Chains A and B, each alone.
Chain A
Amino acid sequence: MKPYKLIASLFLVLLSTQAMAEKATIAAASDLKFAIEEVAALFEQQTGQQLRLVFGSSGNFKTQILQDAPFHLFMSADESFVFELAKAGKTQDQGRIYAIGRIGIIVPHQSPLKADGELTDLTKAVTDGRLHKFAIANPEHAPYGMRAMEALQYANLWQSIQPKLVYGENISQAAQFATSGSTQGGIIALSLALAPQVGRLGEFELIPEHWHQPLIQRMVVIKNAPPSAQQFYDFLATPRAQKIMLRYGFAMPDD
Chain B
Amino acid sequence: MDWQALTLSLQLAFVTLLVLLPFGLWLGRWLAHTQVRYKAWIEGLVVLPLVLPPTVLGYYLLVSMGGSSPFGQWMQNTFGIQLTFNFSGLVIASVIFNIPFLVQPIQRAFEAIPRELGEAAAVSGLSKWQSFWRIEVLLAWPGILSGMVLTFVHTLGEFGVVLMVGGSIPGETKTIAISIYDRVQSFDLEGANQMAMMLLALSLTAVVASFFASARLAVRR
Contact = CB atoms under 8 A, between A and B. Distances in A.
Q: Quick check: do A and B touch in the complex, using CB within 8 A?
A: yes
A10 B21 CA distance: 14
25 contacts: A13-B11, A13-B87, A14-B91, A17-B87, A17-B171, A21-B172, A30-B185, A52-B169, A52-B172, A54-B168, A54-B169, A54-B174, A55-B186, A64-B85, A67-B67, A67-B68, A67-B84, A68-B66, A68-B84, A69-B84, A69-B85, A70-B172, A172-B185, A176-B184, A179-B187
Contacts of B62: 67
Contacts of B53: none
Contacts of A64: 85, 167
B88 A25 contact: no
Contact of B18 (A10, A68, A176): A10
B187 A14 contact: no
Contact of B185 (A13, A71, A176): A176
A109 B207 CA distance: 42
Nearest to A63: B62
A70 B82 contact: yes
Given A10-B15, A10-B18, A68 B67 contact: yes
A48 B135 CA distance: 58
A199 to B, nearest CB: 10
Contacts, number: 81
A20 B14 CA distance: 19
Nearest to A37: B186
Nearest to A177: B185
Contact of B186 (A17, A33, A169, A201): A33
Q: How large is the interface on B (under 10, 10 to 19, 20 to 34, 35 or more residues)?
A: 20 to 34
Contact of A70 (B85, B91, B184): B85
B2 interface: no
A70 B168 contact: no
A110 interface: no
Nearest to B65: A67
B86 interface: yes
A198 B86 CA distance: 32
A195 B11 CA distance: 34
A58 interface: no
